[in-house]
Amino acid sequence: MNEKRIKVELKDKSYEIILRQNIISKTGDYIKKLGAGKKILIVTQDKIPKIYINKVIKNLRKTGYKTYVNSLPSGESYKSLSSLLKILNTAIKNKFERNDSLLALGGGVISDLTGFAASIYLRGINFVCIPTTLLGMVDAAIGGKTAINIKEGKNLIGTFYQPRLVLIDPACLKTLSKKEFLVGMGEVIKYALLEKTGKKVFRNKGFFMYLKNTKNKILELDPATLSKIIEHSVSVKAFIVSKDEKESNLRAILNLGHTFGHGIEQAYNYKKYTHGEAVSIGTCLACKLGNDLKLFSEKDTNLAISLISDFGLPTKLTNLKLLSKITEAMLHDKKIKDGKLRFIIPTNNIGSVKIISGVTINNIIKIFKQHHSGKN
């Protein structure tokens, strides 16, 4: 595939997202153009194939960089204060200066965690991101949201801190498990449900129909099709972040399914459902809420839920035993404003969403129960 460059326009903090097959083999060549210092700390996960880590290290050293590696355990529960301190201590021990860099090589947990470390070390150090999962490529690596989790809630401690550069290598998707790939599709489908509001529509029939019509090619990991869905998803997010860096208005639409999803993740201690699975269930619930409020038709609600199901993603909880814990966690959601829960819900037709507030916990409980029982 030809190299694709998508820019996030943020005045003095603009940066490029570069999409290209096997780009990780050229990591140092791209970073060198940033004029950064000579030390790079690679933060990665124990499940990341060693071949990727070695390719990055080899090219960094070839281009004159001194490299260090922190390999952390995999899983959302490790997006924690102890992991953060491990990264910071490595940087301190090796005398990293402000012009040196932290490089995230992994999924969304690694990009969130490494970005946060970069934002607070010496009040800000260079941050480069190389996502190796679909979810990381289309969402977590872009936009500068960084955070760690604490027991009271997900992402409650964090900053907005933009990377200097994002390198996306679709070839990395070949080594993902089917489950890991599909949870990334949960975020891709999210873009199909909000692209009109995000003002970045995919061709004439829209992204939703493209995903529906190319489902088999996507599941077969067809390189050309994957490149198209990654490029469009990245373009939508980059455009929205460029318009609203710190989520004062438009950027909030990217949280479609997340208020429900984060509550589900936390209630199950990040074990039963992955982030992508929880967001998929949350997106279905958001569609149901939109339908209940007479803002989203039953037909479009069913179409959206069917597409999520067609990609092998969960559409509802297996049971409602932890419903009270889920709703309690939702009440600690960082998107609460003026003491009221805010939701992003599909509206009018597929591709459009709106922000609503004032929905009560009783309303939410009703939606969970109706969706679980299959009632409209």
pTM exceeds 0.75: yes
Q: What is the pLDDT of residues 286-342, one digit of tens each?
A: 999 999 999 999 999 999 999 999 999 999 999 999 999 999 999 877 666 666 788
What phi, psi does 312 have (nearest 5°)? Answer: 75, 20
Q: Where are the domains of the chain?
A: 4-172, 178-373
How is 90-126 classified by DSSP, letter by letter? HHHHTT--TTSEEEEEESHHHHHHHHHHHHHGGG--E
Class (C level, CATH) for 4-172: alpha beta
Query: CB-hemisphere CA count at 13 Å for 210?
Result: 21
Using a 10 angstrom Cβ sphere, with 0-12 exposed, 13-18 middle and 19 or more buried, the burial of residue 51 is exposed
Q: What is the pLDDT of residues 207-243, one digit of tens each?
A: 999 999 999 999 999 999 999 999 999 999 999 999 9
Q: Which residues 6+ apart lie within 8 Å of 151 measured at CB?
A: none
Q: What is the pLDDT of residues 65-102, one digit of tens each?
A: 999 999 999 988 899 999 999 999 999 999 999 999 99
pLDDT at 376 > cutoff 60: no
Distance between CA atoms of residues 178 and 197, nearest Å: 30
Report CA-CA distances (Å) from 179 to 135, 157, 220, 311: 11, 28, 13, 10
pLDDT of amino acid 286: 97
Domain 178-373 sits in CATH at 1.20.1090.10
What would you report as the CA-atom Rg of the chain, rounded to the nearest whole angstrom?
20
Are 4-172 and 178-373 the same fold in CATH?
no
